[in-house]
Structure 1
Amino acid sequence: MTAGATKTARLVAEAAAGAALEEVPRRVCAAVCEGLGMDGTTLSLLTDTPSRQLLAASNEAALLLEEIQFTVLEGPCISAAHSGEPVAVDDLRHELTPWPLFGATVRERLPQVESVYALPVFFGDYVLGSVDLLACRPHALTKEALEQTSQVADAVAAALLPTRQMLLTGAEAPAWEPEQVVRAHWFDTARAIGALVARRGLSPENALALMRAEAFRTGRSLADIATDILREPPPTS
């Protein structure tokens, strides 16, 4: 393991040790940022499914990166969760990415971001989440460093083990920190999907597709679209 991966895995374990459950994702994101020298980190579960749950974003740039991928339904974190392999975009300014909508949108809305990495988080044999990393410089991780990030992802999985067990048993999720961010970018989106299903007779998949299309058309976030839907008065009978 490289020194950076060793340090980061240790920082993640220390960040989670003794922390309240609702604080763990935020503290893990901060530890990954510090250990790997990144400028932003996000952590999510069920990343490549309609049931995606954002657990934490270290800053506004990281949150916007996550929003873009969830809106256009493509990008490194979705690919990493689907394939089970780390994904690297070493030079976003000069590389063509395999995700045309993602690449164009990130260049427009996050011009300061020059490299992006995504790490799958395994629980046993299954990928149940991902860590997204962004940096304001190209080639922020060497090839060797990226190969060793599985050790970091393992440390993240260990830190999140109580979270995984809680979600699998159907227990109510804690108020992840920052609560207002996670609520806006997960809970309210799910409620808005339910509202469209009830009002328009859509399937949940089609309701989410409609929200994504509106977000992409207007350049607004899914959280904003969800807020508008939830503010609409229910139809009168």
Structure 2
Amino acid sequence: MDDPQGRFARANQLIDEEPRSADAAPGAIGRLERLCSALSRALPATGVGLSLLTDVNQGGTIAVSGPASRALEELQFTHGEGPCIDAYASRRPVLVADLLAHGLPRWPGYAPAAHEHGVRAVFAFPLQVGAARAGALDVYRDEPGPLSEEALNQAFTFADLAMDVLVDGQNGSEQSHPAMDLDDVLAYRVEVYQAQGMVMVDLGVSIDEAMARIRGYAYAQDRYISDVAKDIVSGRIRLDRDTP
């Protein structure tokens, strides 16, 4: 018989036991980073990432199990497509056991790029409670094949715990974290929104076109959107109408 309380307790224990790195983010962000690392070890998986989104398809990565996972998460925002975006939009898990066979028709930009990074299967689980949505948790594997029933249960459990941290800023395994809500976490990505507004004004284009310009530049320069956005906001980069 399934024991939800036992699964949550065990997942929290794995997160608590995950080592804290010297440069770990504080508070809830740091716990989400350990959540990603703990899940990556527990499945096992090549990597785990957690990204937030909004209804206008904006957002970004806030926690990963390692640098490779961050690159994979950012690819989705560079291409404007991918498993976490679909999981958020559909409110359903996106389970792609063979990335090239089933992901290429769905994500013609993201799938080959992720494949070049060694991904052969990807699974995305929406972060949601009731009508509230926040983003998705992604699991990457370096060989094709579905997740087992136990692995799926673990992933769903960790996704629920991630949503708890985002909404409450705390969970049952620790006494307290700094108060944190979704607006606080989205502020972690404020440069992207600022850059989008600046490009919109500079070029006299729509907000969607401004994001497309930023994505195009990031793709052409092989950089993360978040890094390009910081350079736009600081004035180190200024896009013009001829920028790819």
What aligned pairs does 1:188-199 form with structure 2 within 5 A after superposition? 188-199=191-202
**CA-CA distance at 1:132 after TM superposition:** 0.7
SS at match of 2:122: strand
Counterpart CA distance in 2 for 1:34 and 1:148 is 11
Change (3 A) 1:115 1:2: farther
Partner residue of 1:207? Answer: 210
Partner residue of 1:113? Answer: 119
User: Which structure is richer in relative contact order (CA contacts within 8 A, separation 6 or more)?
Assistant: 1
Counterpart CA distance in 2 for 1:127 and 1:119 is 11
What aligned pairs does 1:27-106 form with structure 2 within 5 A after superposition? 27-46=34-53, 49-97=56-104, 98-106=106-114
**CA-CA distance at 1:75 after TM superposition:** 1.1
**Runs of 5+ in structure 1 lacking a partner?**
176-182
Partner residue of 2:136? Answer: 130
SS at match of 2:181: helix
Partner residue of 2:181? Answer: 167
Partner residue of 1:26? Answer: 33
Check whether the contact 1:9–1:155 (CA below 8 A) recurs between aligned residues.
Answer: no
Of all paired residues, the percent bearing the same amino acid is 32
Q: Aligned residues, how many? A: 219
**CA-CA distance at 1:48 after TM superposition:** 6.0
Counterpart CA distance in 2 for 1:88 and 1:9 is 25
TM-score computed with the length of structure 2 as normaliser: 0.73
Change (3 A) 1:228 1:125: closer
Letter of the structure 1 residue corresponding to residue 235 of structure 2: R
TM-score computed with the length of structure 1 as normaliser: 0.75
Counterpart CA distance in 2 for 1:95 and 1:76 is 12
**CA-CA distance at 1:166 after TM superposition:** 3.8
Check whether the contact 1:43–1:56 (CA below 8 A) recurs between aligned residues.
Answer: yes
Residues 78-135 of structure 1: per-residue CA shift (max 9 Å, x gap): 1111111111221235545311111122223x0x222111001112223322101112
Counterpart CA distance in 2 for 1:13 and 1:64 is 28
**CA-CA distance at 1:46 after TM superposition:** 2.0
Letter of the structure 2 residue corresponding to residue 210 of structure 1: R
